[in-house]
A and B are shown apart, each in its own frame.
Chain A
Amino acid sequence: MATYITAQPSIGELRWIGRLNAAVLPNDDVNQASATGGSSSTVEGSDVFVVNGQTRSKFYSSQRFIDDQVHCKQSSISFI
């Protein structure tokens, strides 16, 4: 894929999102630091949550661009 723009989107950011089946690929690649499902409360704004007593946010999945060539989802499910 590639994305070509000639002006910034009015929403203020440009992003690609894959909404993957959480039953098949449940895990992020940062020990679930970004896993906000089942949260009991918010800590800050509308993007930092509490899950099982831990603070969680999609922001906690970030890596430095220079080291960030693979964004990974994982599963321990065995496919037979």
Chain B
Amino acid sequence: MLIPGVAYESSSGGPFFRDINANPSGAYNALYWYMNSGHVPTENRRVGLSGPYSLVFSRSGTPSGKTDLAFMGGLGIKGFVATSARGYVSGKGSGVDTAKYQAVVHWYNNAAQYWTYADSSNNFYSPAMKPGTYTQVLYQTELKVATTTVTVTAGTTVTKNIASTWAAPATTLFQIGDWDGQPKGFRNADKQARMHPSDARMSPWGPLTYTVGSSALTDFPMAVFKGLNDPITIKFTLTAAQASGAATFRIGTTLAFAGGRPTANINGKAGAVPAAPTAIDSRGVTRGAYRGYGFIYDYPVAAGTLVAGSNTVSFQSFSSLFNC
């Protein structure tokens, strides 16, 4: 099944959305293309033309995903917008370190969605887009770092640069993982897309203790399940200078289920329970998904809370689960 070019323009969910592709179920081997679904949906579904797409049988290897099906534009297919009636956006992203992250640019409105990788110099050129005004998003791998708008007109290329608004703190006392919008590197993140959290091939979920400076990233779980592997405990050592003054404990999550969100306890002081995240009416982490709306939680740490020497932060899931 080939889904090349702009075939996803009437689907929904953006560049990182995932859906069912295959299912050898015994009686037959099902080959799928989900044009839309309710599987961890993050935006409304669209109508219009999905495709062109193609079923290809080959005895000489995997067919190219860049197969050009534009000839179908000459067949009078309802809803088909020819390339000549489309426009383009080009530009330069900035603020994303492409040596470390992928820079992805995404355009969407109620009628269509598109995306492209920026090159190693952060330059990007869109696919052929239907005319209209779009929200243009820049991602640091999968973390949304900038949003703007751009209007596309037929037969032209409009220039629209975009700069990351993501700012690292002036001083970081410790960081576990990376601000890439993915659970990549955390325990079981390498397996979660392809099996259930209860699978015997998974590493034990914990509860785990992560010690800054000596633990491996895989000592921190990619998901926190209420009553199963919480609390997560983090131990870290500070100098007197580092411990003086106020700080912020920040947790980034990519997906939550049934109101799951972290509650923090810093050196024995419980933080406030944050407001419930926007709900997604779908199971996620148990079905290979890790990406929902994504929320970042900041817990203020008052001056005097941190101490010189050993400190402990623990956090639990207030309800259900969330992914880090």
Which A55-69 residues have C-beta < 8 A from chain B? 55-66, 68-69
| B49-A3 in contact (CB<8A) | yes
The answer to whether residues A4 and B78 also contact, given A14-B50, A66-B15, A70-B1 and a CB cut-off of 8 A, is yes
State whether A3 touches B50 (Cβ < 8 A). yes
Task: Report the Cα distance A71→B14, complex, angstroms.
Answer: 18
**Residues on B with beta carbons closer than 8 Å to the beta carbon of A17:** 30-32
Over the window 2-28 of chain B, the binary record of Cβ atoms lying under 8 Å from chain A Cβ atoms (1 yes, 0 no) is 111000100101111111111111111
Q: Which of A4, A32, A54 contacts B24 (CB 8 A)?
A: A32
Q: A69 to B53, alpha carbons, bound, how many Å?
A: 9
Q: Which A residues touch B23, using CB under 8 A?
A: 28, 34-36, 58, 61
Against B, the Cβ 8 Å flags (1 = close, 0 = not) of A39-80 are 000011101100001111111111111101111110000010
Q: A59 to chain B: closest CB distance in Å?
A: 4
CA distance A44 to B21 in the complex (A): 20
Q: How large is the interface on B (under 10, 10 to 19, 20 to 34, 35 or more residues)?
A: 35 or more
B16 near A66: Cβ-Cβ < 8 Å: yes
Cα distance A53–B200 when bound, in Å? 8
Expressed in whole angstroms, the minimum distance between the Cβ of B67 and any Cβ of chain A is: 9
Is chain B's interface secondary structure helix, strand, loop, or mixed overall? loop
A66, closest chain B residue (CB) = B15
Residues of B with C-beta under 8 A to A10: none
Task: Name the interface residues of B287-304: CB closer than 8 Å to any CB of A.
Answer: 287-289
Interface size class of A (residues with CB under 8 A): 35 or more
* A45 partner residues in chain B, CB cutoff 8 A: 283
Nearest A-chain residue to B286, judged by Cβ: A44
Instruction: Find out whether the CB atom of B13 lies under 8 angstroms from the CB atom of A65.
Output: yes
Contact status of A5 and B48, CB under 8 A, knowing A13-B37, A71-B33:
yes
- Contact assessment for B31 and A65 in the assembled complex, using a CB-CB cutoff below 8 Å: no
Q: A4-B78, A64-B16 are in contact. Are A22 and B51 (CB under 8 A)?
A: no
- By a CB distance below 8 angstroms, the chain A residues around B29 are 19-22, 25-28, 73
Query: Which residues of A lie under 8 Å from residue B54 when comparing CB positions?
Result: 1
- Excluding A20-B30, A56-B195, 18 further A-B contacts by CB distance (< 8 Å) are A1-B52, A8-B45, A13-B38, A19-B30, A20-B31, A30-B21, A32-B24, A37-B25, A45-B283, A54-B199, A60-B194, A62-B19, A62-B288, A63-B18, A65-B11, A65-B17, A68-B18, A71-B21
Can you list the 6 inter-chain pairs with the closest CB atoms, starting with the nearest?
Answer: A69-B65, A37-B26, A2-B51, A62-B18, A55-B196, A58-B23
